Amino acid sequence: MNQEERLGAADLALLQLGRRLQADGYRFITPTPLTHQRVNDRACGQSARTVREVFGWSRSFEPGLLSADEQRQLQQAGVLEESNGRLKSHVRWSSLDDLLFVHSGFPTDAADAVFFGPDTYRFAQLIHAHLQQNFAPIRRAVDIGCGAGVGAIVIARARREAQVLAVDINPAALRLTAVNAALAEVANVCIEASDVLQDVDGNFDLIVANPPYMADPAERAYRHGGGALGEQLSLRIVEQALYRLAPGGSLVLYTGVAMIDGCDPFLAALAPRLESPLFAWTYRELDPDVFGEELLTQGYQRVERIAVVALIVTRIGPGIGGIVSSPAGAP
């Protein structure tokens, strides 16, 4: 059964809409939420005049702007809102290379919102770079906290022989990942509900993750990383992933770090976990300063900047060809 055959009627309508947008040459690069808001706050940003403004800039529109088919598909998918005679799509469509991804409309206030933005582009680039530099066979891979499914789909297209899992705790993310996988025409993606790796079995040749890394007062799943400054989920992913790597397998983690007094608390917490001859690892900042507006948020008073970082861990050494046992108490 291919991806399309697994979709229900509402999701098939979304898939048909995505195919129509692709055929019409639709493209949109999604900016940060702050940039999005500033653009929409302009006088010209209050009402959509084009399909791109409907599905990219997430603006309300007058009935008749979209074709009858497009409006019907939104209605069938259950993602069209009507208020005071105007319409608004609850989903956006964003471009990544030659692909198109559906995700939550702006603003992403809902607890189950599915995010896509500049972090997504950097995450995809990180995976591409890793795959271009590493030629070991990938039999099984997993994208933890898959969101719109970008990591899983990038891997599945590059390694058609691999079985790629896309896992998330958010049913909305799993739904949109299924639509996006069908639109990308990848048959080797399997979509499952799982809290990190707790609900899936076996080891993996590649584990990727782009988890939420903010301390969100509303604790929205797509944004809240837990802990004092959003680091908890990223540390949990590392702890679970290390002992689920097959010999020669790698973890590719893209996350954000709240820097305090010139120090990196995430790296300090990571180091003891990686002090083992079984693992080789690299760690680097990809962007030293993102989401500066978050420094005004409660809890960030001591934070100097938020950086995005890449951690790559590869299982090597005595463990290759053997079995790595989890230490007592490991998840």
pLDDT at 320 over 70: no
- The percent of residues in the chain predicted with pLDDT above 90, rounded, is 83
What SS3 state is found at 252?
A: strand
pLDDT tens digit string along 74-97? 999 999 999 999 999 999 999 999
Per-chain mean pLDDT for the chain: 92
Higher-pLDDT residue of 321, 212: 212
pLDDT at residue 229, as a whole number: 85
- For the whole model, what pTM was predicted? 0.93
- With 0-12 / 13-18 / 19 or more C-beta atoms within 10 angstroms meaning exposed / middle / buried, residue 261 is exposed
pLDDT band (50, 70, 90) for residue 325: very low
Confidence band for 327, pLDDT divided at 50, 70 and 90: very low
pLDDT bucket at 217, cuts 50 / 70 / 90: confident
Q: Tens digit of pLDDT for each residue in 230-280?
A: 899 999 999 999 999 999 999 999 999 999 999 999 999 999 999 999 999
Confidence band, pLDDT 50/70/90 cuts, at residue 44: confident
> Does the pLDDT at position 318 exceed 60?
no
Is pLDDT of 137 > 80? yes
Preceding omega of 107 cis (within 30 degrees of 0): yes
CB 110 within 8 A of CB 176: no
Pick 325 or 48 by higher pLDDT.
Answer: 48
pLDDT at residue 197 greater than cutoff 90? yes
- For the CA atoms of the chain, what is the radius of gyration? 20
| 120-124 mean pLDDT | 98
The pLDDT assigned to 185 comes to 96
Quick check: 323 pLDDT over 60? no
Mean pLDDT, rounded, for 289-301 = 91
Q: Is the pLDDT of residue 3 over 50?
A: yes
The confidence band for 324, taking pLDDT boundaries of 50, 70 and 90, is very low
Domains and CATH numbers, the chain: 4-104 (no CATH), 118-319 (3.40.50.150)
Q: Residue 120: which residues within 8 A CB-CB, separation 6 or more?
A: 30, 94, 96, 147, 148, 150, 210
